[in-house]
Structure 1
């Protein structure tokens, strides 16, 4: 291992990180230098300075090419993340240059994304021309992780997760219900237990959606999996297939009411976790500042 000097005037640059990634991808310093439009001597010198600055070897060099050391693999992983963050930074700075002064980062679960946020965000953005919203859908547990790492301004989670350490406000009631074809032999108006639903085929959202992952976790508590006959991108498509008798679905009650028609029946799920609320949350135990605070208060006032 290289011995790092006590003082080094060299500062790691993003160009050198890009060069290192190019060399690794190309499999040789010569080809990596070509990709970066550098001479072999210049590329080698920059890589050596990078290794000295970090105090460790990043590459094993041989006549057959290069191989990364463990330190090199660690650097490559961080280099990719830094490049992505720089791309985001450039995009946000470009937005500022065009007069858009605020970007609010909002992460939420499936129900919030599909049922509750679109009309509210539309109203908020219509009244705040200087604001953009970076909106992402995640499962509630993943939303918590993002909020605790302070990678978003506002999160929306179902109330079954542990929100200690976060500032929370009620957003909306969001009960989950089972929907089925009206031609099926379900007792009218009767509650159903999730364990009994596992005997039936399902229609659902994509596997990566927050709601799908939540339901899969509940099924695993019974040592079972959910049998999906098909997955689709929206509640509208799911309920259309339910009406055709393809299977049952579990959706937010708001979606079931919005899309209800004569060919669909609805039953309340008796399990306690199905009667849930969605919570607004922010990191650090306090409300956000600036435009994010305005959006937080707007959603708290106008939620259900």
Structure 2
């Protein structure tokens, strides 16, 4: 079985990214003839042309594109291995990279990660916000160890673990005509201007489709970029919005004034809150989160501990 060494892979990546052997050689501090020799040896080993040459430089062939994609994954994995082993040598126990969607970061993830980090002081966790489709792609490409996203995204060959759920609600100012309701159907909300969250593109599209199926139009008065901005616009009476009930409760909002309290709906909180969340009773209003990983059995010890913690505290 033939094997390709990491030096050849690194030089091949440099040639593809720089576009010429001379610039690749300069970048890697090596003679151009040595780069050419490595490239020729690679093509001999693979028994296929990996680059096409022209007076303007070189570019990868289809076979070269395939090698380039895998070479980047291999080199990135090697770099991560070195970094993680270096952290063990320095006394740390690991480094976990997490991609998470906006809803999880608003509703529950900060508290879950805070508890984990307090119990595992030598593990570092980096978190980056992405939309669900980008989260799946990032985990699949090895950019992150763990992804937290919605279950409707195609996850390919990733391991997917059911995690949490949340519930959508109509969020209105306390003096709104619908604020007293204990539940409502989405169709009833279409009589009012809505406020959209730009990060909820998939939900916005779903609601527009449902409205159209019912013969109505969903009128977005405005779009905002963050959950907190949406709540402030609602408080000011600009529009109503469909938002996760759990996120509203954490911000200090309440269930409808005549409700029984529910999640975050204590009457003391209701007295102070300027917004009210009226739960939607449509079937699609309950949404699910999943944890996705490349292969659960192959997770590092630190990443496996974090997954176990998230599942134990959901």
Q: TM class, shorter-chain normalised?
A: 0.7 to 0.9
**Aligned mates of 1:281, 1:63 — CA distance in 2:** 46
- Is 1:240 the counterpart of 2:232? The answer is yes
Q: What does 1:73-222 align with in structure 2 at a 5 Å threshold?
A: 73-104=65-96, 106=98, 108-137=100-129, 156=148, 171=164, 174-186=166-178, 188-189=180-181, 191-197=183-189, 200-207=192-199, 211-222=200-211
- Is 1:230 the counterpart of 2:241? The answer is no
CA deviations on 1:233-292 (whole Å, 9 max, x unpaired) are 3x2222012212333322221221233254323221121122356566778798x89555
In 2, are the aligned partners of 1:147 and 1:155 still within 8 Å (CA)? yes
Residue of structure 1 in register with 2:282 after alignment: 271
Give the paired residue count: 289
Specify whether residues 13 and 194 from structure 1 end up closer, same or farther in structure 2 by C-alpha distance, changes over 3 A only: farther
* Matched position secondary structure for 1:75: helix
Q: Structure 2: 5+ residue runs without aligned partners?
A: 254-271
Q: Structure 1: 5+ residue runs without aligned partners?
A: 1-6
* Matched position secondary structure for 1:56: coil
Q: CA deviation at 1:95?
A: 2.2
* Matched position secondary structure for 1:174: strand
- Is 1:39 the counterpart of 2:28? The answer is no
**Aligned mates of 2:118, 2:138 — CA distance in 1:** 27
**Aligned mates of 1:189, 1:265 — CA distance in 2:** 10
Specify whether residues 285 and 41 from structure 1 end up closer, same or farther in structure 2 by C-alpha distance, changes over 3 A only: closer
CA deviations on 1:172-201 (whole Å, 9 max, x unpaired) are x52221212345443621533334545655
**Aligned mates of 1:83, 1:168 — CA distance in 2:** 28
Pick aligned residue for 1:60 from 52, 57, 66: 52
Specify whether residues 22 and 148 from structure 1 end up closer, same or farther in structure 2 by C-alpha distance, changes over 3 A only: closer
* Matched position secondary structure for 2:178: coil
TM-score by length of 1: 0.72
Specify whether residues 134 and 61 from structure 1 end up closer, same or farther in structure 2 by C-alpha distance, changes over 3 A only: same
Specify whether residues 156 and 23 from structure 1 end up closer, same or farther in structure 2 by C-alpha distance, changes over 3 A only: closer
In 2, are the aligned partners of 1:139 and 1:213 still within 8 Å (CA)? no
Q: CA deviation at 1:26?
A: 3.4
**Aligned mates of 1:75, 1:253 — CA distance in 2:** 47
Over the aligned positions, Cα root-mean-square deviation in angstroms equals 4.1
TM-score by length of 2: 0.71
Specify whether residues 38 and 167 from structure 1 end up closer, same or farther in structure 2 by C-alpha distance, changes over 3 A only: closer
* Matched position secondary structure for 1:100: coil
